[in-house]
Amino acid sequence: MNTTRFWRPVAALALGGASLLGALAAHAAYNPPIHMANGIEYMSGGISSDEAALMQTVAPRWPATFEFAIKDGTRSDFAADIAVTVRDAAGRALLSQVNAEGPFMVARLEPGRYEVEATLAGRTLKQTVEIHAGGPTRTLFLWPAGTDVSAHS
């Protein structure tokens, strides 16, 4: 048997596969950790463009997505380091002052009605969010310009 003919393709595959894996790893986005509080899974992130793209990709697989931004003239800038509290219909805090590290937060909430509070630089926005079975819900929290002066200086 001619082993040279057999090993050349295997060696080429191994070297090519290694470089392909290296290239894929170099372009892979950091996956933010999934946290748990009171039995509710949540994840936040989106600071870098790669991480924002990842969060937008996974959002449809989570029942609730919260997006945080600051209105700046005719456009909006992402906001981060948001304290988020989610209360159920009975007023119980399921998530209490958890930190959304980036402009996106996803949570595995059961179908129902929730009161969500998002606080940035001491300004709290509240919204009622309705989660329906079988489909994701996206909620935008938009603060007025100048809310988080430290983020722009």
**DSSP structure string for 36-88:** EETTEEEEEE--SHHHHHHHHHHGGGSSEEEEEEEEETTEEEE--SEEEEEE-
pLDDT score, position 27: 46
pLDDT score, position 16: 44
- Rounded CA-CA distance 135/98 in Å is 24
Mean pLDDT, rounded, of the chain? 83
pLDDT score, position 74: 80
Taking the mean position of all CA atoms in its chain, how far away is CA 108?
12
Q: Determine the straight-line distance between the first and last CA of the chain, rounded to whole angstroms.
A: 71
pLDDT digits (tens, 9 = 90+) for 5-21: 444 444 444 444 444 44
Strand 64-72 with 137-143, pairing: parallel
Half-sphere exposure (CA, 13 Å, Cβ side) for 114?
Answer: 28
Q: Of 109, 81, 104, whose CA–CA distance to 94 is shortest?
A: 109
pLDDT score, position 137: 97
Low-confidence ranges of the chain (pLDDT < 70): 1-30, 149-153
pLDDT digits (tens, 9 = 90+) for 21-47: 444 444 455 689 999 999 999 999 999
pLDDT score, position 83: 98
- In CATH, the architecture of 35-152 is Sandwich (2.60)
